[in-house]
């Protein structure tokens, strides 16, 4: 009986270095002004999105100004997300109350 060598499995990197292959396809129209990341040159439509990208992907290389901008932008993002969650909960409550109201009349 021959034993075949077991294939070696390369470990999968767990930390992405934001290479071009793991980015979504981006199309920038000619003449459009974009905010580009100074570290990986990825284009963003707004400065807010670029600031969030910098804090998420390049946190170890940020300047103090970039870090302050990221923290301020992240706070705004958290507030916007909280308001969005309130709207979703309100919508769910309205749907449940509406269905309960209709169901109560269907039983009567």
Residues that bind Zn ion (CB under 5 A): 37, 39-40, 42, 57
Residue 99: how many CA atoms within 13 Å on its side-chain side? 5
Q: In sequence order, what are the beta bridge partners of 43?
A: 36
Residue number, 28 or 90, with CB nearest to Zn ion: 28
Q: Residue 13, class by beta-carbon neighbours within 10 Å (0-12 exposed, 13-18 middle, 19+ buried)? A: exposed
Residue number, 39 or 43, with CB nearest to Zn ion: 39
Pair 55, 78: CB distance under 8 Å? no
Min dist CB 95 to Zn ion, Å, is 40
Min dist CB 79 to Zn ion, Å, is 24
Residue number, 40 or 49, with CB nearest to Zn ion: 40
Residue number, 48 or 57, with CB nearest to Zn ion: 57
Min dist CB 49 to Zn ion, Å, is 11
Pair 70, 51: CB distance under 8 Å? yes
Min dist CB 48 to Zn ion, Å, is 15
């Amino acid at each position: 009986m021959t034993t075949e060598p077991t294939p070696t499995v390369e470990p999968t990197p767990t930390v992405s270095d934001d290479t071009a292959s793991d980015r979504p396809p981006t199309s920038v129209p000619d003449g459009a002004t974009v905010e580009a990341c100074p570290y990986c040159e990825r284009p963003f439509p707004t400065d807010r999105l670029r600031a969030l990208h910098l804090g998420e992907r390049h946190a170890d290389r940020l300047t103090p100004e970039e870090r302050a901008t990221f923290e301020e932008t992240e706070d705004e993002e958290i507030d916007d997300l909280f308001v969005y969650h309130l709207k979703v909960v309100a919508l769910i409550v309205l749907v449940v109350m509406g269905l309960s109201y209709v169901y109560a009349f269907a039983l009567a």
